[in-house]
């Protein structure tokens, strides 16, 4: 299709785009291609537009020609001004360079002048220094001549003057002349110092071999004939402090120490004092305080008379702290008596101390304040000494072992049932089979009042409320403690930590009776009320000598505290220690509890002895009176007893003994349980080698319990012994019951073998006493004994017998329904008889 656009249109579109930047409005022109035929027209049109532009420029140039000429004239003038400015700038630069050269010349000239001035000043300083050095040299020559002529005071003054001369510090230390000068000064100082020390040693002569100190006059050959001048010279030379310190050390080691220190042979140094000397010439057996203070006063008087005040006062300031400290620590502290018997002699010693302090004050010597301070601390010193001795005594007692064994008797009044079969004798008498003996029962209103009677001694009534005989809240169920009793480590036992868990403790006979299954309900019906009666009970047990000795220490402490509150000791120097002294019994008991476990462990029956000793000691401590009676018979409270608070320590002691018993019982239970574990639960007890293991386990367990019976029979009271053995036997019985009940299938041979094992264990009944009707009291002390005996019957009984025991007997008191059903299933084969028996037992469960 041929284009309808003319060449003129193409040319005009290109020109508009070049001149104005616009595009053609016609879409056809925009999208068309420029044909070669249109190029001449385009070129012609562009050339014409170019000519038009040139013509316009010429026209505009002709109109602005005058302005352009003016511009050209100004440009030429500007060029001339720029050239003139450049010439001025060159002149300025040349002038600046000339000024810099002049300044450099000035600086150079100034530095030369400064150098000349420095040289001049150095020459002047050098001249002055040389003159001063020459003067110093002349002075040193004078010092040297004075030293050679023994004019020490003059030499010292000149040396001090030379030492302060500026010439000695204005010259560099590296200067050789100054080094030589200082070396000469040092040599002269050493020489003068040696001369002064020689004069000092001549005046105060120390003989270490003879332990003697001689004080006299300076030799006449010395120009320094006055000791004061000698001291002044030594002070200026800074030699006096060292010399005085050495004199103090010599006095301490040669005179004071031997006089104050007590030797192993019981003697002290013999002090001898002359006009000009003091020495320790030998040994003296005189240990009296009067002799000591007399010697100390004589020594001080000797020093004050032989030494000038310039030496005495500084020496006193150095010497007295050591003297008073040694006097207090070595002599006075040991002079404090251990008890009240030596207080009168000690008061004489205090008077001497007071007099000695007054003399020190009159001499203007220090030390009185320290002595007065020690005097005011005597109650604390005596208390600490008493505490140390008492605790040391307890420690030595316990370190020696348990000592002698002694049998003591315990007496108490108890209310029991009149027809109680535990206590009933033949014909309803008062024969006590639990280790108790019946005494006077005539008084129906007799108050419970336990006491102890030591064999070989008189009877002492005691309050034994610590036994918990009348306090039901302290009762511990034996069956429960077999499962929950736990021991405590020795440290916790000693200090009473964790007292909230007292553990297991033997009960008195009535409490054992109260918890006994004999008094349980029979077939769901309660027993008829029992008629009660009051009886007096006695039994004996063994203790070691330790609690009595500890009690004696505590008694002596309390006795001394009571004495200190009497008028006779009102003015005693330790009267103020009475209230604090009453804290000592508690510390003694703490020490006893701390060391006792390790001390008692050396004996096989140590834990049980510890239980008995703590029990006896706690009851005796409760006997200390809290009141005293006046001469008019009135009842008043003693301040000593008021301050004596042993309740906490008694409670801690009771907890301590309970823990000792609990720990021993738990240990024995663990041994017995481990021995029974050797049977491996009685599985395959009829087959070798399992039957042999079962035989060994049963035999070792029985032997172990019989051995404990033999061991504890000589320690515990019979009632506690039976309770302990009963608790252990209950552990054995429960272990056997559980092991047998865990057996899923028991054959007839196994049943017979298990019955034999139970019968062998049942022979342990002979460890317990019998009633008048020849019945064993094992069940009274052994919680699971009747259940264990019924288990033996079940193992050898038929289904008919078992059903009869369940329906008509007391089997339901000890076994629940499912427990009995499990045993029947394990013992008897599946069949209608077993199903009927199980159904009948379960059917009658609600009537149990």
**What torsion, rounded to 10 degrees, do the Cα atoms 204, 209, 212, 213 define?**
10
Contacts by residues 758-765 (CB-CB < 8 Å, ≥ 24 positions apart): 758/788, 758/789, 758/791, 758/792, 758/795, 759/792, 760/698, 760/699, 760/702, 761/698, 761/701, 761/702, 761/732, 761/733, 761/736, 761/788, 762/788, 762/789, 762/792, 763/702, 764/702, 764/705, 764/706, 764/729
Alpha-carbon span 566 to 551, nearest angstrom: 23
pLDDT in tens, 332-367: 888 788 777 777 778 888 888 888 889 988 888 998
> pLDDT grade, residue 500 (50/70/90)?
very low
Question: For residue 65, what pLDDT band results from cuts at 50, 70 and 90?
Answer: low
- How sure is the predictor about 164, in pLDDT bands with cuts at 50, 70 and 90? low
**Which candidate, 451, 462, 448, places its Cα nearest to that of 413?**
448
Question: What are 10's two structure tokens?
Answer: 């193409």
Could you tell me the two tokens for 281? Answer: 């010439």
By the 10 Å C-beta count (0-12 exposed, 13-18 middle, 19+ buried), 143 is classed as buried
pLDDT band for 445, please (50, 70, 90 cuts): very low
Q: How far apart are CA 488 and CA 778, in angstroms?
A: 29
Partners of 452 in the beta sheet?
410, 460
The fold for domain 68-195 equals: Methane Monooxygenase Hydroxylase; Chain G, domain 1 (1.20.58)
Residue 511: per-residue pLDDT: 56
| Whether pLDDT at 790 is above 60 | yes
Mean pLDDT, residues 304-326:
87
Residue 438's pLDDT band, with cuts at 50, 70 and 90, is very low
Q: Which of 294, 288, 253, 293 is nearest to 267 (CA)?
A: 288
Q: Which of 323, 644, 658 is nearest to 475 (CA)?
A: 658
At 463-487, the pLDDT tens digits run: 333 333 333 333 333 333 333 333 3
**Tally of CB atoms within 10 A around 96:** 10
- Burial class (CB within 10 angstroms; exposed 0-12, middle 13-18, buried 19+) of 398: buried
What pLDDT is attached to residue 581? 84
pLDDT-wise least confident of 176-190, 198-212, 327-341, 800-814:
176-190
- Tell whether the torsion through CA atoms of 377, 381, 386 and 387 is positive or negative: positive
Judge contact between 263 and 182, C-beta under 8 A: no
Cα(273)–Cα(268) distance, rounded to whole angstroms?
A: 16
Under DSSP, the state recorded for 601 is: T
- The pLDDT value given to residue 698: 93
The span from the CA of 111 to the CA of 742, in Å, is 120
State the pLDDT at residue 16. Answer: 79
With residue 128 as reference, give the H or E element that holds it. Answer: helix 65-148
Tokens matching residue 540 = 């004996």
What is residue 282's three-state secondary structure? strand
CB proximity list for 442: less than 8 A, separation 6 or greater: none
Q: What is the DSSP string of 467-519?
A: G-TT-GGG---HHHHHHH-----HHHHHHTTTTT-----PPPHHHHHHH-GGG
Residue 499 pLDDT > 60: no
d(CA 382, CA 334): 10
Q: What are phi and psi of 367, to 5 degrees?
A: 125, -25
Query: Does the pLDDT at position 428 exceed 80?
Result: no
pLDDT band at 170 (very low <50, low <70, confident <90, very high): low
pLDDT tens-place string over residues 615-624: 999 988 888 7
In the numeric block, which tokens belong to residue 528?
């008829």
3-state secondary structure 715-750: CCCHHHHHHHHHHHHHHHHHHHHHHHHCCCCCCHHH
Helix (H, G, I), strand (E, B) or coil at 535: strand
- SS3 percent helix, strand, coil of the chain, rounded to 5, is 65, 10, 25
Task: Check pLDDT > 80 for residue 651.
Answer: yes
Q: In the prediction, which pLDDT does 130 show? A: 72
- Is the model more confident about 44 or about 439? 44
pLDDT at 27 exceeding the cut of 90: no
C-alpha distances in Å from residue 515, one per residue of 140, 720, 726, 735, 809: 111, 15, 13, 21, 21
Long-range CB contacts (< 8 A, 24+ apart) of 261-268?
Answer: 261/330, 262/287, 262/330, 262/334
| 656 pLDDT above the threshold of 70 | yes
Instruction: Give the pLDDT band (50/70/90) at residue 425.
Output: very low
702 and 764 Cβ atoms separated by less than 8 Å = yes
Query: Where along the chain do its domains lie?
Result: 7-63, 68-195, 239-376, 408-469+508-544, 661-847
**Phi first, then psi: what are they for 685, rounded to 5°?**
-70, -5
Backbone φ/ψ region at 797: left (φ over 0), alpha (ψ -120 to 50), beta: beta
Lowest-confidence pick of 155-159, 292-296, 625-629:
625-629
Element containing residue 637 per DSSP (H, E): strand 635-637
Lowest mean pLDDT among 143-147, 698-702, 704-708: 143-147
Structure tokens at 174: 């590296």
> What confidence tens digit (pLDDT) does each residue in 587-612 have?
999 999 999 999 998 888 889 999 99
* 190-200 b/e (C-beta count within 10 Å ≥ 16 → b): eebbebbeebb
- What does the radius of gyration of the chain's CA atoms come to, in whole angstroms? 59
- Output the six-digit token pair for 256: 């004071």
How does DSSP classify residue 603? S
Report yes or no: 318 and 245 within 8 Å, Cβ to Cβ.
yes
Question: Is residue 200 a contact partner of residue 156, using CB atoms and an 8 Å limit?
Answer: no
The CA distance from 801 to 212, in Å, is: 109
CA 663 distance to own-chain centroid:
27
pTM above 0.95, yes or no: no
Class of domain 661-847: mainly alpha
Q: Which two tokens stand for residue 33?
A: 């291609």
Q: Give, as one character, the DSSP assignment of residue 262.
A: P
Mean pLDDT, residues 169-187: 66
CA distances from 151 to 161, 191, 236, 389, 759 (A): 16, 12, 15, 64, 118
- Are 230 and 307 within 8 A, CB to CB? no
């Amino acid at each position: 299709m041929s284009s309808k656009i003319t060449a003129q249109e193409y040319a005009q579109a290109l020109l508009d785009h070049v001149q104005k930047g616009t595009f053609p409005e016609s879409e056809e022109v925009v999208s068309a291609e420029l044909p070669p035929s249109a190029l001449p027209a385009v070129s012609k049109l562009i050339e014409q537009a170019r000519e038009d532009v040139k013509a316009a420029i010429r026209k505009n140039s002709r109109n602005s020609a005058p302005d352009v000429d003016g511009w050209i004239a100004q440009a030429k003038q500007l060029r001339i001004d720029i050239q003139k400015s450049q010439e001025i700038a060159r002149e300025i630069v040349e002038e600046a360079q000339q000024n810099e050269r002049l300044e450099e010349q000035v600086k150079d000239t100034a530095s030369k002048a400064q150098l000349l001035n420095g040289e001049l000043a150095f020459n002047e300083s050098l001249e002055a220094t040389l003159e001063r050095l020459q003067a110093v040299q002349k002075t040193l020559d004078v010092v040297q001549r004075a030293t050679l002529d023994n004019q020490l005071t003059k030499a010292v003054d000149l040396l001090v003057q030379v030492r302060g001369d500026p010439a000695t510090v204005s010259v560099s230390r590296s200067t050789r002349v100054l080094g030589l000068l200082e070396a000469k000064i040092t040599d002269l100082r050493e020489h003068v110092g040696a001369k002064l020390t020689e004069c000092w040693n001549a005046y105060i002569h120390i003989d270490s071999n003879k332990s003697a100190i001689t004080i006299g006059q300076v030799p006449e050959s010395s120009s320094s004939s006055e000791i004061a001048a000698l001291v002044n010279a030594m002070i200026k030379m800074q030699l006096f402090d060292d010399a005085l310190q050495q004199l103090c050390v010599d006095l301490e080691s040669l005179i004071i120490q031997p006089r104050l220190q007590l030797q192993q042979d019981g003697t002290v140094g013999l002090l001898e004092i002359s006009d000009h000397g003091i020495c320790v010439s030998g040994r003296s057996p005189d240990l009296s305080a009067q002799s000591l203070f007399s010697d100390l006063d004589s020594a001080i008087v000797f020093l004050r008379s032989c030494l000038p005040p310039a030496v005495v006062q500084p020496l006193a300031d150095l010497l007295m702290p050591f003297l008073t400290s040694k006097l207090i620590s070595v002599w006075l502290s040991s002079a404090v008596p251990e008890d009240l018997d030596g207080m009168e002699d000690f008061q004489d010693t205090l008077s001497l101390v007071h007099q000695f302090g007054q003399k020190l004050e009159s001499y203007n010597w220090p030390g009185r304040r320290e002595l007065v301070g020690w005097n005011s601390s005597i109650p604390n010193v005596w208390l600490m000494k008493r505490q140390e001795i008492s605790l040391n005594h307890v420690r030595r007692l316990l370190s020696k072992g348990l000592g002698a064994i002694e049998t003591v008797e315990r007496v108490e009044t108890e209310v029991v049932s009149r027809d109680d079969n535990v206590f009933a004798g033949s014909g309803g008498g008062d024969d006590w089979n639990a280790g108790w003996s019946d005494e006077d029962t005539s008084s129906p209103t007799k108050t419970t009042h336990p006491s102890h009677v030591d064999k070989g001694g008189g009877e002492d009534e005691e309050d034994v409320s610590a036994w918990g005989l009348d306090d039901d809240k302290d009762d511990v169920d034996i069956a429960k403690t077999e499962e929950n009793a736990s021991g405590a480590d020795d440290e916790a036992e000693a200090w009473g930590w964790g007292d909230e868990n007292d553990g297991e403790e033997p009960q008195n006979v009535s409490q054992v009776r109260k918890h006994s299954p004999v008094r349980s309900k029979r077939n769901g019906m309660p027993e008829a009320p029992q008629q009660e009666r009051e009886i007096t009970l006695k039994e004996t047990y063994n203790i070691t000598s330790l609690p009595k000795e500890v009690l004696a220490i505590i008694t002596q402490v309390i006795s001394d505290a009571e004495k200190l509150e009497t008028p006779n000791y009102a003015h005693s120097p330790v009267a103020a220690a009475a209230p604090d002294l009453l804290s000592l019994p508690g510390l003694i008991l703490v020490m006893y509890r701390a060391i006792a476990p390790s001390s008692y462990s050396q004996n096989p029956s140590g834990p049980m002895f510890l239980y008995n000793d703590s029990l006896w000691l706690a009851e005796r401590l409760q006997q200390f009176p809290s009141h005293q009676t006046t001469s008019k018979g009135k009842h008043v409270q003693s301040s000593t007893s008021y301050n004596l608070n042993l309740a906490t320590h008694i409670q801690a002691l009771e907890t301590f003994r309970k823990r000792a018993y609990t720990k021993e019982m738990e240990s024995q239970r663990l041994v017995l349980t481990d021995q029974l574990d050797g049977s491996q639960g009685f599985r395959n007890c009829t087959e070798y080698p399992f039957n042999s293991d079962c035989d060994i386990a049963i035999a070792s367990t029985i032997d172990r319990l019989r051995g404990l019976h033999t061991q504890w029979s000589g320690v515990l009271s019979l009632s506690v012994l039976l309770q302990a053995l009963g608790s252990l036997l209950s552990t054995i019985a429960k272990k056997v019951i559980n092991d047998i009940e865990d057996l899923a299938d028991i054959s007839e041979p196994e049943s017979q073998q298990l019955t034999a094992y139970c019968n062998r264990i049942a022979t342990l009944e002979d460890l317990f006493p019998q009633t008048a009707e020849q019945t064993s009291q094992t069940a009274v002390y052994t919680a699971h004994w009747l259940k264990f005996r019924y288990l033996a019957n079940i193992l050898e009984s038929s289904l008919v017998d078992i059903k009869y025991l369940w329906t008509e007997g007391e089997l339901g008191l000890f076994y629940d329904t499912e427990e009995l059903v499990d045993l029947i299933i394990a013992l008897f084969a599946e069949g209608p008889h077993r199903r009927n028996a199980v159904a009948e037992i379960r059917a009658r469960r609600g009537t149990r």
